[in-house]
Amino acid sequence: MERRTLFPGRALPAFLVLPQLAITALFFLFPAWRAFVESVRAVNGFGLNARFVGLANFAALLGSGTYRATVLRTLLYCTAVTALAMAGGLVLAVFADREIKGRAIYRALLILPYAIAPAIASVIFVFLLQPEIGLLTGVLKQAGIDWNYVLHGGQALGLVILVGAWKQVAYNFIFYLAGLQSIPRTLIEAAALDGARGWYRFRTMLWPLLLPTTLFLLVVNTVYAAFDTFALIFALTGGGPGTATETMVVKVYRDGIINLDLGGSAAQSVILMALIVALTVLQFRYAGGRDRT
């Protein structure tokens, strides 16, 4: 299947990959290098002088209670978003896989949230849940809930989890739907004739056959929740109230850009980078696994 094109010499192929390499260097390698450099330095508040401090920035982070709390909060956030988004995507996919009228429209609508920019998604939820004028706020207030995510940290965390999951449900929906459709129909029919129905059929037939998809999505969703939700959280709560919705990426921004602790922020970036690399390795392994089985 694999097609190989042979170029004479090296100049042409090098020229062809140059644009991509240039982009990678400018936007990925250079900032990464800067983060490494900054992570071992301490800069004074005005940025006028900097000195080499070795691993002191890292040591300070690991010894800090607030950083540990942020890591735990991020873990909680990732787990909740991943679980909600994957369960939501799976349930919707199972329903959309049935023979129903207007299936195409239903599917298209379910994919829509994925196409909405994170900041816009946040704005939509602000319209709905803003403490004073939100469309749903009144309903919640009437139900006796003191809804004010600007004040209550728990509510704020719940909200960013909800919006984060909502955005990602569409992605999981597409993958689960594709996964369900790649299961041969006769397999499900054979199970039906064997007497399997409903939940039992799902548990013993669909779920095991979707396992490769699930493993793949698990990694992708974790990466998404940990790193791609910055815009969402930033637009909704900015990390607050207090540090209630401050995940690791948000803290990088707050410490570096707002509090101007460039060294500490860079050290956090380096830690995040290491995590991303680890998760990417996992992702490639499972993405590859999908093809092999």
Partner 1 sequence: MARLDLRGLAKSFAATTVLHGIDLALADGEMVVIVGASGCGKSTLLRLVAGLESPTAGRVLLDGTDITDTDPSRRDIAMVFQNYALYPHMTVFGNMEYGLKLRGLPRAEIARRVDEAAALLGLGPLLDRRPRQLSGGQRQRVAMGRAIVREPKLFLFDEPLSNLDARLRVQVRADIRRLQRRLGVTSLYVTHDQTEAMTLADRLVVMHEGRVAQIATPVEVFDRPADTYVAGFIGDPAMNFCPAVLARGGTMAALAAGAQIPLAGGRHAAPDGTRILIGIRPQHAERAAAPTGLAVTIELIEPLGSETLLHGKLADDTEFALRITGPPGPLGDGMTLPVHLPPEQLHVFDAASGLRLDPTPPGAGVGSGSGQD
Span interacting with partner 1, options 57-65, 90-98, 160-168, 179-187, rule CB under 8 A: 179-187
Indicate the residue among 4 and 292 with the shorter CB distance to partner 1: 292
Place of tokens 């787990």: 79
Span interacting with partner 1, options 11-19, 38-46, 207-215, 224-232, rule CB under 8 A: 207-215
Q: Is residue 193 within the footprint of partner 1 (CB under 8 A)?
A: yes
Q: Is residue 189 within the footprint of partner 1 (CB under 8 A)?
A: yes
To partner 1, the closest distance from the beta carbon of 186 in angstroms equals 4
Q: Which residue of 71, 209, 276, 279 would you call a contact of partner 1, by CB under 8 A?
A: 209
- Is residue 147 within 8 Å of residue 140, measured between CB atoms? yes
- Is residue 85 within 8 Å of residue 110, measured between CB atoms? no
- Is residue 139 within 8 Å of residue 56, measured between CB atoms? no
Could you give the CA distance from residue 268 to residue 261 in angstroms, rounded to a whole number? 11
Residue 65 CA: distances (Å) to CA of 69, 101, 250, 289: 6, 55, 17, 39
Indicate the residue among 66 and 182 with the shorter CB distance to partner 1: 182
Residue 115 CA: distances (Å) to CA of 109, 110, 168, 184, 287: 11, 10, 10, 30, 23
Q: Is residue 181 within the footprint of partner 1 (CB under 8 A)?
A: no
Considering only residues 41 to 80 of the shown chain, the ones binding partner 1 according to CB under 8 A are none
Indicate the residue among 104 and 143 with the shorter CB distance to partner 1: 104
Q: Which residue of 13, 31, 138, 184 would you call a contact of partner 1, by CB under 8 A?
A: 184
Which amino acid is present at 83? Answer: A
Short-list 126, 134, 147, CA closest to 238:
126
Q: Is residue 190 within the footprint of partner 1 (CB under 8 A)?
A: yes
Q: Is residue 195 within the footprint of partner 1 (CB under 8 A)?
A: yes
Q: Which residue of 151, 187, 257, 281 would you call a contact of partner 1, by CB under 8 A?
A: 187
Q: How far is CA 257 from the centre of its chain?
A: 22
Short-list 125, 76, 122, 67, CA closest to 233:
122
Span interacting with partner 1, options 104-112, 173-181, 200-208, 234-242, rule CB under 8 A: 200-208
Contact positions toward partner 1, by CB under 8 A? 184, 186-187, 189-197, 200, 204-205, 208-209, 211
